[in-house]
Amino acid sequence: MKTILTLVLLLGAVLGARAENTTVAGNSALTNSLKVASQPTKLYAVTGMNLSGSAEYIQVFQKVTPVNGDVPVFSFPVFASSPFALDFSFYGADLDAITICASTTATTLTLATANTTLQAIVKSR
pLDDT top residue among 17 and 66 = 66
Residues listed for the chain:
125
SS3 state at 5: helix
pLDDT tens digits for range 49-83: 999 999 999 999 999 999 999 999 999 999 999 99
Residue 19 is predicted with a pLDDT of: 58
Residue 90 is predicted with a pLDDT of: 85
pLDDT tens digits for range 81-95: 999 999 998 899 999
State what percent of residues in the chain have pLDDT above 70.
Answer: 84
Considering the segment(s) 23-124 as one domain, its CATH architecture is Sandwich (2.60)
- Phi, psi angles (nearest 5°) of residue 14: -65, -45
Start-to-end Cα distance in the chain: 36
| Alpha-carbon torsion (16, 19, 45, 116), positive or negative | positive
Q: Is the pLDDT of residue 18 over 90?
A: no
